[in-house]
Amino acid sequence: MDVQLQGLSESDAYSLFSQIIIPRPIAWVLSDNGVEHGDERWNLGPFSYFNGITSDPPMIMFSIGDSMAEKVKDTHRNLKNNPECVISLACVDQAKDMQNSAEDLPAGESEVKKFNIALSDWNWPVPRVTDAPVSMGCIASQFTRVGNTEQILVFAEITRLWVRDDVGALDSKGQLRIDVEAFDPLARVGKGAYAKLSEVFRV
C-alpha cells in the first residue's frame, strides 16, 4: 500500500505514525508546578516521542505537542520556569498510574496528588516516582520548535541516575549492567496500546 501523506491532518499523521514508530519508551516527566508549599507542587506526565540522543553529556529529547492540545502543556511551562526535573521509566506494573497521569488537569494541579502516586526524595531537588525502576535527574537545556505547528523538542541533560538495586549491578569491569527482566519496561505502541518485552535475544 502506497500511503498518501499529502493533505493528512496533524492529528491523522499523529495517529498513523504513533502506530508505526514503535515500540517507544515513555519519558515519565516530573516537573515543578511552582507551588512552593503544598501537595499540588509536582506535575507528572508521560511523553513517548522520546529517546536518548547524546552521551557526552548524556542527554535525552522528548517532544511536547502543544498545538493539538491547544494550550501550552504544564510540563512545557514548568520546565521553562524551572528546568530541573526527573524523568522516570515506568515498569509494566505502573501502566495504570502512567496512563492516569496523562490526564489534562488545570495548570497548577498535581497528577501525583490526584492519583496518589508515591514520590521519594533522593539526591536531587526534584523527587522521583518511588515505584519506577529507573529515574533520571535532568536539566532541560534547550527548547526547539519544529514543524508547522506548536511542537516543542525539549533537550535535557541527565545529571543524576537512580536504578533500583535488583535492576542494576556492577559487572567485573565496574560497568553497570541492567537486568532487563527485572526492569520490565513499559513500551507504547499507539492508540492506547502498550507492550512489554516478551523475549530478549542477541544477534
Ligand X SMILES: Cc1cc2nc3c(=O)[nH]c(=O)nc-3n(C[C@H](O)[C@H](O)[C@H](O)COP(=O)(O)O)c2cc1C
User: Interface residues with ligand X (CB under 6 A)?
Assistant: 26, 43, 45-49, 63-65, 69, 73-75, 99, 102, 104, 188
- State which residue has the least CB distance to ligand X: 45
Least Cβ distance, residue 100 to ligand X (angstroms): 9
Least Cβ distance, residue 202 to ligand X (angstroms): 28
- Say if CB 156 and CB 59 are below 8 A apart: yes
Least Cβ distance, residue 48 to ligand X (angstroms): 4
- Say if CB 135 and CB 87 are below 8 A apart: yes
Residues facing residue 120 across a β-bridge = 128
Indicate the residue among 108 and 168 with the shorter CB distance to ligand X: 108
Q: How many residues does the chain have?
A: 203
C-alpha of 148 from chain center:
23
Least Cβ distance, residue 56 to ligand X (angstroms): 25
Indicate the residue among 46 and 137 with the shorter CB distance to ligand X: 46
Q: Residue 83: how many CA atoms within 13 Å on its side-chain side? A: 12
Indicate the residue among 179 and 197 with the shorter CB distance to ligand X: 197
Indicate the residue among 47 and 162 with the shorter CB distance to ligand X: 47
Residue 129 is classified by DSSP as: E
Indicate the residue among 63 and 82 with the shorter CB distance to ligand X: 63
Nine-digit cell string for 196: 512489554
Least Cβ distance, residue 194 to ligand X (angstroms): 7
**Quick count: other Cβ atoms within 10 Å of Cβ 193?**
12
